[in-house]
Amino acid sequence: MSRVILHVDANCFYASVECLYRPELKGKPVAVCGDPAARHGIVLTANYPAKKCGVHVGQAVWQALQLCPELVTVAPDYGLYTHFSALMRNIWLDYSDRVEAFGLDESWIDVSRPDMTVAKGVRLADEIRERVKRELGITVSIGVAENKVFAKLGSDMKKPDGTTGIYPETFREKIWPLPANELLYVGKSTTSSLRRLGILTIGDLARADSRVLKGALGKNGLLLQAFALGLDASPVMKAEHNAVVKSVGNSTTTCRDIATVDDARCVFFLLAESVAARMREQGLKGRCISISIRETNLSRASCQMMLPSPTFLTDDLIHGACTLFEQNFPHRLPLRSVGLSCSHLTPADAPRQMSFCGDEKRILQREKLDAAVDDLRRRYGHNIIQRGNVVGDKDFSLLSPKEENTIHPVPFFAG
What positions carry a catalytic annotation? 106
Q: How far apart are CA 248 and CA 250, in angstroms?
A: 7
Beta carbons of 46 and 159 less than 8 angstroms apart: no
Q: Report residue 189: phi and psi, to 5°.
A: -65, -45
Q: How far apart are CA 52 and CA 19, in angstroms?
A: 17
What strand order describes the sheet that includes 406-409?
A: 300-311, 284-295, 335-347, 245-258, 406-409
Q: Are strands 30-33 and 5-10 parallel, antiparallel or unpaired?
A: unpaired
Query: How much is the CA Rg of the chain, to the nearest whole Å?
Result: 24
Q: How far apart are CA 18 and CA 25, in angstroms?
A: 8
Amino acid identity at 206: A
Beta carbons of 202 and 183 less than 8 angstroms apart: yes
